[in-house]
Structure 1
Amino acid sequence: MISKYKIPFFAALALTLLLSGCVTKKYDRPNVKTEDLFRDLKGTDTVTMATMPWEELFADAKLKALISKGLAQNVDLKNAIENIVQAQATLKQSKLGYYPTLSANADITHAKQSKAALNFPAGININTLTDVYRAYLSTSWEADIWGKISSTKRMALASYLQTDAAKRAVQTQLISDIANNYYALVAYDEQLRITEQTLKSRIDNIEIVNALKEAAIVNGAAVVQAEANRYAAEVTIPDLKLSIRQTENALCILLGQAPGPIDRTTLEDQTVPQTLAVGVPSQLLENRPDVQQAEMAFRNAFENVNLAKTYFYPSLTLTANGGASTLSLDSFFKQSIFYSIVGSLTQPIFNRGLNKQRLTTAQSQQVQALNNFQQTIFVAGQEISNALYSYEMAVSKQESRVKQVEALTKAVDYTEQLLQYTSTTNYTDVLTSQQSLLAAQLSGVNDKLQQLQAVVNLYRALGGGWQ
């Protein structure tokens, strides 16, 4: 039965717990702007390619093998996973804050006191030199009245979720980087093939021009121009080979391996999805890892404000000590047992403004975190809009580029024939058409590359690659 003296204590405790709910607040996602993020796209279909596994997005088996290898070996991704391990350990530690501490202690005290200071009457002989031996346990527990420990735990949880989102952001970026570099590599291969084929054609063309000079159809200037045209193509080959080597080495870094050759297919083998579903802007809050990371950073700052508020209120701490003490080791277990239990209530009154400045700083950091959260969403919308438009422009150029290459191919054939059989053209026309054809062919490769990379960038911008 509860005595009448304990009733006020329990009433005070109940009132304290009731008031504690007014100190800290429950987290709710802030209102952030997601409207019109996709600019001109006004859709309501929630189907999005972000939920598509990356194995389904890419059809090239060699590219998929490289992505799998990168996910297993990439150093940045491994470090991101270790960050999760560290955050998980911090979270486990914060959960233990509800439990009391317990420690074992042993100490020896050697003390000498002054006889004069003791002020005993004359004739009394007192041993002023003593040794005290103690072995005891001590424990301490702080009641989570105002939610200080709970807020600390929720901060640790937000940090853990933040590192998990960061790891997924690294993963989506890694998949994007591997795919984009792979596409760039096969594009360089195709440009090298076209350039080497053009070089062979121009070397053959020099022989034709020499024959035409022998027949007095062209002069020596045409021969020199043909040779210069040959070298104009030849000089670009080392640069293409350098780009290939550098891209291979960049891919090896992404794969977490030493520089070396990359097994690959061709640009012609690459395909893109028939439809690009982007869903609705609000889905970025659930699909895009860096947006989730920014939200968890805000949640961490929110709980830090809760924690800062608790420092204005009293803390209740219970401490206890218990063990044995003796003046001689020989009789250690025969001497007295001692214990103490102390309950302390500490209310901050003047702390040199520390609590107030802690709260002001935490509130300011919360505002910054909210701003960063909103900015991350805006950046996501920008990247999606850019990737969509880049894809659309690449597709719109394809038909015109094909017609341009066909027309320039005919122009080269016609001018070469006219040079041999009529005097209505000169070798400058042949050079112009040949150079324009090569430029159009290389630009056509860039158009296909732009289309492929736009799909990859859109997939990453929507948050695909981690599901």
Structure 2
Amino acid sequence: MKKILLLTTVTALLSSCGIYTKYQPETTAPDNLYGEGTAVVDTANLGNVDWRELFTDPRLQELIEQGLQSNTDYLSAQLRVEEAKATLLSAKLAFLPSFSLAPQGTVSSFDKQKAVQAYSLPVTASWELDIFGRMRNAKRQAKALYAQSQDYQQAVRTQLIAGIANTYYTLLMLDEQLSLTQQTEQAWKETVVSARALMEAGQYNEAGVSQMEATYYSVQTSILDLKEQINQVENSLALLLAETPRHYERGTLSAQHFTQDLSVGIPMQMLANRPDVRSAERSLEAAFYGTNQARSAFYPSIVLSGSAGWTNSAGSMIVNPGKFLASAVGSLTQPLFNRGQVIAQYRISKAQQEEARLFFEQALLNAGSEVNDALTACQTSREKTVLFDKQIVSLQKALKSTSLLMEHGTTNYLEVLTARQTLLSAQLSQTANRFTEIQSVISLYQALGGGRE
């Protein structure tokens, strides 16, 4: 009865010291995590959508599937999970006693006397009693690090899916800009031919024609620049897919369609969905158990050990046949002279835990800011699309009118040149704005923890 009371008292004291306390997961998020202007009406979340439902282009789906199979960063992340899993298994096995077989044999002779042969066949065992929680906290810490490695793998997966999608849509944007520029180049070519005809008829001067030709050559230079950019982006895509550079078949920017519903869900989902936020919390959890482990170093460690086996050596006597021999030892180690080092390590662990807490809080704030940035960018791009459409219609009318007036000699080349350049600039800006809209949807999907398995 006294032993039971003693053990109960010791357990209560150890719990109050924090050795056996368990980490309590974070269940709250800062108010207005997504920003004051972002309304949260339900628990729907774009990040919960399967990536195949968001990216419906079949060519892009094939590229993402290929990337998930061959990307070296993602494969390395999977290996890190296996390493952490093995570390966790090692921490679990530390609770079991260790056994080892250490057979020994000697042959000795003194002053040319007959050689004496001695042997021993012992099996030794050692078992540490985890009364003060050192191994238990080490196991919990390893478990948190294992979960963190899984979160890291998911973060790499999300980043890979978003990276391939962004690169693919960049190619679609450049293709569209190249097509517009080539159409403009062809129109300029026809305009230059018409201007030269008017000059030969005495209705135009050499300066005007030369200015139009210079602009025509500038457009041709832009075409070469766009082709070079397309080549560079294709090379970037090849790196993501872990293959040598090649040309990729792809769709068109105008054929891409995305959902208009950009639900961000409740801020609490950020704790469960974002792999980097989860990873930061796993670091906090691991630091928490690291502090517990450092605290347990103030208490003694108890180890039971023993050996059993056959030997023919009993001190200075050699007997044959051998006899059975067994021994058992219990040891208790209490830190005395290295107590200063133990205290220093505990302070280090406490500081690391506080550092991990601050890192987690900052990761959560960064995630909320990314959601707000992506959501605002998408909404702004959609509003600008309406204005660009109206602007292009007006510029097309202006170009048509000035071209007709130039043919009849009632206006000069500068008005036509300005109208065509302004139209091309607006068309290129409209294409870039469409890409920005798609890119912001991808960023929002990534910011909400999309692409999970």
Whether contact under 8 Å (1:284, 1:291) holds in the other structure is yes
The match for 2:70 is 73
Whether contact under 8 Å (2:162, 2:443) holds in the other structure is yes
Whether contact under 8 Å (2:29, 2:267) holds in the other structure is no
CA, structure 1 residues 333+239, in 2 after alignment: closer, same or farther (shift >3 Å)?
Answer: farther
Whether contact under 8 Å (2:402, 2:416) holds in the other structure is yes
CA, structure 1 residues 323+8, in 2 after alignment: closer, same or farther (shift >3 Å)?
Answer: farther
The match for 2:202 is 216
Greater displacement, 131-140 / 456-465? 131-140
Alignment-mate amino acid for residue 308 of structure 2? G
The match for 2:58 is 61
Q: List structure 1 segments (4+ residues) > 3 angstroms apart after TM superposition.
A: 7-20, 30-33, 108-114, 127-132
Whether contact under 8 Å (2:298, 2:339) holds in the other structure is no
State TM-score, norm by structure 2. Answer: 0.94
In the aligned structure 2, how far is the partner of 1:132 from the partner of 1:15? 50
Alignment-mate amino acid for residue 201 of structure 1? A
Residue 11 of structure 1 and its aligned partner are, at CA, apart by: 5.3
Alignment equivalent of 2:79, drawn from 79, 82, 88: 82
The match for 1:141 is 127
2:166 corresponds to 1:170: no
CA, structure 1 residues 333+243, in 2 after alignment: closer, same or farther (shift >3 Å)?
Answer: farther
In the aligned structure 2, how far is the partner of 1:332 from the partner of 1:428? 117
The match for 1:121 is none
The match for 1:34 is 30
Whether contact under 8 Å (1:294, 1:372) holds in the other structure is yes
State TM-score, norm by structure 1. Answer: 0.91
The match for 1:16 is 10
In the aligned structure 1, how far is the partner of 2:223 from the partner of 2:171? 15
Whether contact under 8 Å (2:174, 2:230) holds in the other structure is yes
The match for 1:118 is none
Whether contact under 8 Å (1:130, 1:327) holds in the other structure is no
In the aligned structure 1, how far is the partner of 2:303 from the partner of 2:15? 20
Gap regions ≥5 residues in structure 1: 1-6, 115-126
Aligned-pair identity in percent equals: 37
Residue 105 of structure 1 and its aligned partner are, at CA, apart by: 0.6
Aligned-partner SS, 2:215 = helix
2:312 corresponds to 1:340: no
* Per-residue CA distance 1:246-288 (angstroms, 9 max, x = gap): 1111111112222111111011111111211111112100111
CA, structure 1 residues 213+335, in 2 after alignment: closer, same or farther (shift >3 Å)?
Answer: same
CA, structure 1 residues 318+447, in 2 after alignment: closer, same or farther (shift >3 Å)?
Answer: same
In the aligned structure 2, how far is the partner of 1:206 from the partner of 1:352? 90
Alignment-mate amino acid for residue 28 of structure 1? Q
In the aligned structure 1, how far is the partner of 2:419 from the partner of 2:277? 51
* Per-residue CA distance 1:86-113 (angstroms, 9 max, x = gap): 1011111111111000000122457799
2:217 corresponds to 1:269: no
2:191 corresponds to 1:197: no
Residue 332 of structure 1 and its aligned partner are, at CA, apart by: 7.7
Alignment-mate amino acid for residue 104 of structure 2? D
After superposition, residues 312-391 of structure 1 pair within 5 angstroms as 312-327=298-313, 334-351=321-338, 353-391=340-378
Alignment-mate amino acid for residue 310 of structure 1? S
2:385 corresponds to 1:398: yes
Larger radius of gyration: 1
Whether contact under 8 Å (2:181, 2:424) holds in the other structure is yes
Residue 83 of structure 1 and its aligned partner are, at CA, apart by: 0.4
Residue 296 of structure 1 and its aligned partner are, at CA, apart by: 0.5
In the aligned structure 2, how far is the partner of 1:112 from the partner of 1:281? 81
The match for 2:234 is 248
Aligned-partner SS, 1:26 = coil
Instruction: Provide the alpha-carbon RMSD of the alignment.
Output: 2.2
Residue 200 of structure 1 and its aligned partner are, at CA, apart by: 0.9
Whether contact under 8 Å (1:36, 1:42) holds in the other structure is no
Residue 315 of structure 1 and its aligned partner are, at CA, apart by: 1.2
* Per-residue CA distance 1:137-187 (angstroms, 9 max, x = gap): 100001110111111110110010000001011111111111111110011
Task: Tell me the matched-pair count.
Answer: 446
In the aligned structure 1, how far is the partner of 2:13 from the partner of 2:361? 33
Residue 30 of structure 1 and its aligned partner are, at CA, apart by: 4.3
2:428 corresponds to 1:460: no
Alignment-mate amino acid for residue 179 of structure 1? A
